[in-house]
Amino acid sequence: MDRGGCQMSGGGGGGGGGVDRHGMITLEDLESFSEDQLSDSGNGSLEEGETMEDENSDRLLHYWQEVARGHQVEVSEDMAEPIQQLSSNNQGRSQREHVPYTLLTRKEKCGELLYEKRHYEKGHWACITMREDTYEQSICYGFMRIMRYICQQNATGNYLGMTLPIVTVVRTDENHSVISHDVTVAYFLPLEHQAQPPQPYDSDIVIEVWPATTVYTRAFTGSTNEMTIINQINTMGELLDSPGVCVNDSFIVAGYTNPAHSNRQNEIWFLERR
């Protein structure tokens, strides 16, 4: 896999807008703020010429800037509009499209689901690969650029719509003890845009067709940092009957819920070799 690519392929290398305590910016955090909460967070007064929408947008931006600063991540002023759009458009889980798949098998033990085997058809994904000083920074900055693409910085000039999960492609050493800071963030294009994906303005965002892929996936809850990802990779490797059928150095972390939630829903994906 090259720096600009992130194909979900079993043949080799290789998930809104808030910051959790480990530094990941995500789409769903934007939904935690209602109009009432935004109003309560300010002093209740508007500057001359300022509208309530402007004030709410500023409060959202300033909130994310304050939280991100504690994680050595800078949220620039031009993120105000994408943050506001994602907040206003994501009004409930029912409006979020999920990446389609076919369930092949489930492995259980004593009534506990250990993992699922799924088949994902080929599809278009918007991908960006980053290399920052830390793994968390790579995720943050990559996802903010994907956010801009979703929110009008594309050939249609329109908001494209939310899909789940937002996935992160991670690379490890042979012993699964170190995660590379080359991190790829990928967004599945909504079904209405699959036939003709809108091109991004950002030249580092690449629209790729990921081939049909078989995935072994295990759910886990909590935060997604380097330590938890390594632990989940090693745990999944021990549970698989034949780990050798899967790619050994690239994995996918799929995020479905707000990372600030105490019971955040994630998955680790192993990709079957092609």
Question: Between the CA atoms of 141, 144, 146 and 148, what dihedral angle is there, to the nearest 10 degrees?
Answer: -140
Residue 90: the pLDDT is 54
| Model confidence pLDDT, tens digit, residues 172-207 | 988 888 888 889 999 999 999 999 999 999 999 999
Residue 26: the pLDDT is 45
Q: Specify the CATH architecture of the domain 95-271.
A: Alpha-Beta Barrel (3.20)
Residue 256: the pLDDT is 83
Please tell me the pTM assigned to this model: 0.75
Residue 169: the pLDDT is 95
| Model confidence pLDDT, tens digit, residues 103-122 | 999 999 999 999 999 999 99
Instruction: Give 54's contacts (C-beta < 8 A, 6+ positions apart).
Output: 46
DSSP 195-234: SSPPPBSSTT-EEEEEPPEEEEEEEEES---HHHHHHHHH
pLDDT over 50 (residue 68): yes
Helical residues (DSSP H) of 70-177, grouped into ranges? 80-89, 135-150
Query: Do you find a cis peptide bond into 100, omega within 30 degrees of 0?
Result: no
Q: Note whether 4 and 267 are within 8 A (CB).
A: no
Mean pLDDT value across residues 215-226: 88
Higher-confidence residue of 249 and 3: namely: 249
Nearest to 233 by CA among 184, 267, 274, 259: 267
| Model confidence pLDDT, tens digit, residues 70-84 | 556 666 676 666 666
6-20, 46-60, 83-97: the lowest-pLDDT one: 6-20
The tokens of 242 are what?
């034949």
The tokens of 19 are what?
């910051």
Q: What percent of the chain has pLDDT over 90?
A: 41
Integer-rounded Cα Rg, in Å, for the chain is 19
Give CA–CA dist 264/19, Å, rounded.
Answer: 13
Give CA–CA dist 192/199, Å, rounded.
Answer: 14
Q: Note whether 195 and 178 are within 8 A (CB).
A: no
Residue 16: the pLDDT is 38
The tokens of 177 are what?
């003890």
DSSP 20-86: -TT--EESGGGGG--HHHHHHHS-S---TT--HHHHHHHHHHHHHHHHHHTTT----GGGHHHHHHH
Q: Note whether 96 and 103 are within 8 A (CB).
A: no
Coil/strand/helix, residue 169: strand
Higher-confidence residue of 185 and 95: namely: 185
Instruction: Give 62's contacts (C-beta < 8 A, 6+ positions apart).
Output: none
